[in-house]
Amino acid sequence: GENVEQHPSTLSVQEGDSAVIKCTYSDSASNYFPWYKQELGKGPQLIIDIRSNVGEKKDQRIAVTLNKTAKHFSLHITETQPEDSAVYFCAALRARQLTFGSGTQLTVLP
């Protein structure tokens, strides 16, 4: 089955700086890669996704890049704000099943 590795497990940045979280996947058949933000006491919220036929996607301060050859994808958050502090999960979809990375605790320091 699919295996998704996510790094780093924790990340602290100063407000206004950029944050980058990286994931690798094992199954070349995976074709959809969402990113989720989970705040304390809440369910995961989809923040951006990318499909395997696209190399990059951007939505305001958030961007995702995908390298199919290397089987890795990354989340980029620019101009970080304290409200960006949360746990972020990457995931890979294969055969209608999502496999999640282990999560990254992002802390934005004011």
Partner 1 sequence: SAVISQKPSRDICQRGTSLTIQCQVDSQVTMMFWYRQQPGQSLTLIATANQGSEATYESGFVIDKFPISRPNLTFSTLTVSNMSPEDSSIYLCSVGDSNYGYTFGSGTRLTVV
Restricting to residues 65-84, name those near partner 1 by CB under 8 A. Answer: none
User: Which of 11, 20, 49, 74 lies at the binding interface for partner 1 (CB under 8 A)?
Assistant: 49
User: Which of 75, 80, 89, 108 lies at the binding interface for partner 1 (CB under 8 A)?
Assistant: 89
Report in angstroms how near the CB of residue 5 gets to partner 1 at its nearest. Answer: 11
10 near partner 1, judged by CB under 8 A: no
Nearer to partner 1, 46 or 109 (CB): 46
Restricting to residues 15-44, name those near partner 1 by CB under 8 A. Answer: 31-32, 34, 36, 41-44
User: Which of 29, 46, 54, 109 lies at the binding interface for partner 1 (CB under 8 A)?
Assistant: 46
Phi, psi of 64 (to 5 degrees): -130, 140
C-beta contacts of 67-74 below 8 A and 24+ residues apart: 68/28, 70/24, 71/24, 71/25, 71/26, 71/28, 72/22, 72/23, 72/24, 72/25, 73/22, 73/23, 73/25, 73/33, 74/20, 74/21, 74/22, 74/23
Q: Which residues bind partner 1 (CB under 8 A)?
A: 31-32, 34, 36, 41-46, 49, 51, 89, 93, 96-103
